[in-house]
A and B are shown apart, each in its own frame.
Chain A
Amino acid sequence: MTTQYQKPTPEINDENRAFWEGCRQGELRVQKCSNCGHIRHLSPACPQCLKAEHEWVAASGRGTVYSWIVVHQRYNRAFEEDLPYNVTIVELDEGPRMVTSLVDVENQDIKAGTPVEVVFDRVTEEITLPKFKRIG
C-alpha cells in the first residue's frame, strides 16, 4: 500500500518540462543558449543575450556546496519527521547554482566547497527531485 506524497512538488509547465523529464530519466539538464552558449538553470531567457532559444544539455551532475542551512522550524507538516534537515545551494561545475538538499550526510558535517554529485529521488510518478551526495 502506498501513501500519498505530502510535500509540495514543483509545478511542471512548458518552460521547465524538459528539466523534470530529464530528472525522471536520471539526467540533470541545463539550458544552453543557442545564441551565445551561456549555460543557465530554469530561466525563460538567456540573462546574457536575452534570446529565448536554447537547447537542453546534460550537465555533468557534479558540483560543490556553496551555502546551506539546517531547518529546525516546522513550516510544513510534511517535513516534520525530517527535522532538522538541510537545504543546500549547490554550484554546478557548469556554473549555475541550484537549491537542493544533500543526502547521506550528518548536518554537522556539511561544509562549503565539498564536492558533490547528483542523485535522483523519485517522489511521485511525475516528479523526481535532483539531490546531491558527497563524493570522494
Chain B
Amino acid sequence: MSLKDKHAIVGAATTRFGKVPGVSALAFTVEAAQLALADAGLAKDSVDAVLCKYPPSGFQGLWAHKVSEALGIQPKIAATIDQAGATNIGLVQYAMMAIEAGLIETAVCCYGDNPLSGPPGTYSKPRGPEGAYGMFGAPSGYAMIAQRHMEEFGTTSEQLGHVAVSTRAWASKNPNAHKRDPMTIADHQASRYVAEPLHLLDCCLVSDGGAAVVVTSVERAKDLNKPPVYIMGIGQHHIAWDLPQRPTLTTSGAKISGEMAFNMAGVGPQDVDVCELYDCFTVVPMITLEDYGFCEKGEGGAFVENGTTGPGGSIPMNTSGGLLSESGMAGMQLIVEAVRQLRGEGGERQVDDPEIALVSGQGGIMHSHATMILRN
C-alpha cells in the first residue's frame, strides 16, 4: 500500500513573524489554524483531527486538546506529537495514515509559539550532565556537529556562511520575514561566535509566530478554494541517540528519511524544483543536501558556494528565508512556503513554474528527521 498522491494539502497559512508581544502560543496556533481553514475554504466543523507540535517555550500535556477547545472543535483524533523540529511533517504523515484508514477525512496540523516575547523555555537549557562542563543550548550541540564536518571533510566557516547569505537574499524578497536586511560573507564572518565554530549568523532566529496546514483526501480536495497540492512522498528517520554515543555526527536521519520519501514519490533530487530544508543552523541544510543526494557526502560545503541555493541559483532553497531569516519557529512555515511556491503565490520570491517541492524537518540535535515531497 503506497500513500503516494492520495492526499493533499488544501489550506496553508502563516501568522505575523518576529517580535509580537502580547500573543500567546495558543493564540498564534488558533490564528494559524483559522487562516489555513479560510485558505482552504473549509468550515471548522469539517475538521475531524487536530494535530499539534507542542510549543518549546513551555511543554503542556494535552496541548492538542487545549487547541481543539480554543478552536471550538471536538475532533475524532487530537494528538500532540513530539519529534521536535521534525514534528510538523510527522503530523502530516499521521493525518495521511488516519485518512487512509478511514478514521478521519480532514486534519488541521497547527503550530504556534512566542519564545521571543514570552519565556525562552527549552532553548537554552542544558541537555543533561553536560551542563557541568558548560554545554548549554542547541548551538553547542550543532557546533560539535559542524566541527566534526570540518574535521572530516575540510568544510569551512565561509562555506557555512554561504547558506546564511543565500537564505537572507531570499528573505529580502519576503515582506513577512523577520530579518530582511542584506548579509554578506564578511558580515557572517564578523558576527560574534556563539559556540565556535558557529557564529551568531549560523544560528536560526528566535521568533514569535504560528503556521498551519489542512490535509485531506484527494477526493475531498477537488472542490475547495485552491488547487490541491499533492503529497507524493513522505518519510521519517530517527537517529535518536544523544551526540556522544551516536555512531557518526555527519550523517543525519535525512539519508533514510529521504530515501523513503523519494522512493514513494518515484522521483529523485534531479526532479526537485524547489527545496525548503530545515535550517536551524547553517550546517543542517548542508548535511541534508548531502544525505538527500544533491551532492556526495562531504561535498556540501562546495555545493552551497557561489549562490547555488540563492535567488537565480540552480537549486532554490529556503525561498521564504528559512529558520535563519524568515522565522525561527520549528518548521511548519517551510511546508507552507512549499505550498505557496507550488501554487505560484510566492510573489517577488516566486520560483519559475515549480512542479515538485521538497521539504525537510529536523529536531533535537539532529535526533529526528522527516521529509516530504509535494507536487502541484
Contacts and interface: CB of A to CB of B under 8 A. Distances in A.
Chain A bound to chain B: yes
B244 A72 contact: no
A71 B140 contact: yes
A49 interface: no
A72 B145 CA distance: 17
B244 A71 contact: no
A52 to B, nearest CB: 17
B147 interface: yes
Interface string A35-60: 00000011100010000000000000
Contacts of A7: 131-132, 134
B192 A75 contact: no
A75 B151 contact: no
A99 B245 CA distance: 10
A97 B245 contact: yes
B294 interface: no
A135 interface: no
B124 interface: yes
Q: Chain B, interface size: which category?
A: 20 to 34
Contacts of B131: 7-8, 76
Interface string B100-143: 00000000000000000000000010100111111111011001
Contacts of A75: 124, 134, 136-137
Interface string B166-199: 0000000000000000000000000011111110
B351 interface: no
Interface in A51-110: 66-73, 75-76, 79, 82, 84-85, 87, 89, 96-101, 107
B42 interface: no
A100 B133 CA distance: 6
Interface of B is mostly: helix
Contact of B196 (A84, A99, A112): A84
Contact of B129 (A10, A70, A76, A82): A10
Nearest to A99: B130
B3 interface: no
A97 B133 contact: no
Contact of A101 (B133, B145, B147, B198): B133
A87 B198 CA distance: 14
Contacts of B4: none
Given A73-B139, A98-B244, A68 B134 contact: no
A34 interface: no
A23 to B, nearest CB: 11
Nearest to A7: B132
B244 A99 contact: yes
A75 B124 CA distance: 7
B202 to A, nearest CB: 12
Given A129-B132, A129-B133, A68 B124 contact: no
A119 to B, nearest CB: 13
Nearest to A20: B129
Contacts of A101: 133-134
B243 interface: yes
B132 A72 contact: no
Given A41-B245, A76-B136, A112-B151, 16 more contacts: A8-B131, A66-B244, A68-B147, A69-B144, A70-B193, A70-B196, A72-B193, A72-B195, A82-B134, A84-B196, A87-B140, A96-B244, A99-B133, A100-B133, A107-B196, A112-B148
A71 B144 contact: no
14 contacts: A7-B131, A7-B134, A9-B132, A42-B129, A70-B193, A71-B134, A72-B193, A72-B195, A73-B139, A82-B134, A89-B144, A96-B245, A129-B132, A129-B133
B249 interface: yes
Interface centre among A9, A66, A97 (most CB of B within 10 A): A66
Interface in B316-344: none
Contacts of A112: 147-148, 151
Contact of B249 (A8, A41, A67): A67
A72 B147 contact: no
Counting chain B CB atoms within 10 Å of each CB, the highest count among A47, A72, A79 belongs to A72
Contacts of B145: 67
A70 B195 contact: yes
A73 B194 contact: yes
A69 B244 contact: no
Contacts of A73: 137, 139, 193-195
